[in-house]
């Protein structure tokens, strides 16, 4: 490991990120720990061309900088093959904190571009060092995500975007990626909702010969988001709804008619009336739960009263027929 020595913080070359694998991590908890008890585990550094470069412990050094520490304990390791040094740094981080998908893409693209490592070496050595299976498909997926500009990747990762959705976003044009990432900073979506919106954007763009950024900047989308005001969750739902209306206007029209008709029926509480998701069938399914004979009779009586709303029933079934 090398001897522990105390060095001036100013002697460390903080600009050399050759072995860094930390991106946008919250140093708050570490900061309070270092402030209270100091650096229990000294960072590892290596002397290169008269400079001390950090091998591992970048977050610890960041905390020391924020605390205005002047002297740091460090392990000074002997110089070795850069790839072996990179691997040792990754293994150390793997057992202390793990890696996010954006950190894995950042490491892999630098290894392939800076170090010019063969793909097979990246598969056999780098992927396991970051806790992944040594598979060509896993490398391919990460490199697809790595094609997204780093600043856009950082936005997506901070918003909780998964690797799977990052891969979907990577298929968009670069400017489309940036515009979508900006939209997501003001809208909250679940992973499934984001996946659905990405697919809707692609389908609309292909059908209408539009660019994704033009769809997102359209008056229709802007109006929907303005109506949702400042609530990020509601803005996410508003974007999805507007894209659905754009992509499937006839289906959303029938869905709205069906729901309005249900509302006019004044159904008893706890009674559900549903049809197939895309109106493939012409019937409805009515369900309810009764916990006693008396409750059963009460619900049936209320359903009988609801059946007297003939106009609402006719509208409900005409929506099913598409008429």
The Cα–Cα gap between 177 and 166 comes to 10
The Cα–Cα gap between 225 and 244 comes to 14
What's the CATH architecture for 1-97?
Answer: Alpha-Beta Complex (3.90)
- pLDDT bracket for residue 323 (50, 70, 90): low
The Cα–Cα gap between 243 and 204 comes to 8
Strands of the sheet containing 12-13, edge to edge, are: 4-8, 71-77, 44-48, 51-56, 12-13
What pLDDT is stored for residue 1 in this prediction?
A: 52
Element (H, E) at 45: strand 44-48
The Cα–Cα gap between 174 and 151 comes to 11
Q: By C-alpha distance, which of 221, 281, 283, 279 is closest to 251?
A: 279
- pLDDT bracket for residue 77 (50, 70, 90): confident
What pLDDT is stored for residue 203 in this prediction?
A: 97
Mean pLDDT score across all residues of the chain: 91
What pLDDT is stored for residue 319 in this prediction?
A: 86
The Cα–Cα gap between 246 and 241 comes to 9
Checking 165-170 for CB contacts under 8 A at 24+ apart, the result is 165/191, 165/194, 165/195, 165/198, 166/101, 166/102, 167/141, 168/195, 168/198, 168/199, 169/198, 170/144, 170/145
Find out whether 55 and 85 touch, Cβ atoms under 8 Å.
yes
Cα dihedral 263, 267, 268, 271 sign: negative
Record the pTM. Answer: 0.84
Per-residue pLDDT tens over the stretch 97-141 = 889 999 999 999 999 998 899 999 999 999 999 999 999 999 999
Please say if the pLDDT value at position 178 is more than 60. Answer: yes
Residue 206's alpha-carbon distances to 84, 212, 281, in angstroms, are: 47, 9, 28
- pLDDT bracket for residue 168 (50, 70, 90): very high
The Cα–Cα gap between 278 and 250 comes to 10
Find out whether 139 and 119 touch, Cβ atoms under 8 Å.
yes
Find out whether 208 and 166 touch, Cβ atoms under 8 Å.
no
Find out whether 218 and 228 touch, Cβ atoms under 8 Å.
no
The Cα–Cα gap between 132 and 204 comes to 36
What pLDDT is stored for residue 50 in this prediction?
A: 81
Find out whether 174 and 149 touch, Cβ atoms under 8 Å.
yes
């Amino acid at each position: 490991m090398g001897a522990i020595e105390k060095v001036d913080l100013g002697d460390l070359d903080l600009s050399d990120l050759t072995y860094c694998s930390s991106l946008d991590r919250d140093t708050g908890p570490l900061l309070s720990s270092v402030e209270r008890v100091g650096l229990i585990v000294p960072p590892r550094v290596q002397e290169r061309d008269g400079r001390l470069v950090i091998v591992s412990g970048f977050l610890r050094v960041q905390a020391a900088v924020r605390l205005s520490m002047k002297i740091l304990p460090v392990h000074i390791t002997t110089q070795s093959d850069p790839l072996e040094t990179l691997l040792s740094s990754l293994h150390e981080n793997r057992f202390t904190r793990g890696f996010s998908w954006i950190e894995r893409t950042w490491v892999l693209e630098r290894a392939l571009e800076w170090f010019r490592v063969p793909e097979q070496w990246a598969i056999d050595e780098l992927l396991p060092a970051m806790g992944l299976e040594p598979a060509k498909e896993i490398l391919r997926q990460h490199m697809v995500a790595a094609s997204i500009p780093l600043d856009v990747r950082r936005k997506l990762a901070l918003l909780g975007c998964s690797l799977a959705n990052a891969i979907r976003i990577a298929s968009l044009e670069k400017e489309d990626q940036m515009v979508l990432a900006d939209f997501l900073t003001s809208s909250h979506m679940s992973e499934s909702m984001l996946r659905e919106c990405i697919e809707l954007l692609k389908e609309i763009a292909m059908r209408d010969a539009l660019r994704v950024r033009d769809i997102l900047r359209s008056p229709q989308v802007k109006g929907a988001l303005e109506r949702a005001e400042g609530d990020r969750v509601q803005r996410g739902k508003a974007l999805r709804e507007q894209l659905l209306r754009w992509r499937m206007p006839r289906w959303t029209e029938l869905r709205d008619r069906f729901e309005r008709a249900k509302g006019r029926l004044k159904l008893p509480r706890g009674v559900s009336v549903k049809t197939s998701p895309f109106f493939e069938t012409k019937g409805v399914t009515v369900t309810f739960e009764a916990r006693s004979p008396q409750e059963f009779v009460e619900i049936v009586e209320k359903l009988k009263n609801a059946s007297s709303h003939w106009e609402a029933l006719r509208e409900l079934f005409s929506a099913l027929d598409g008429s």
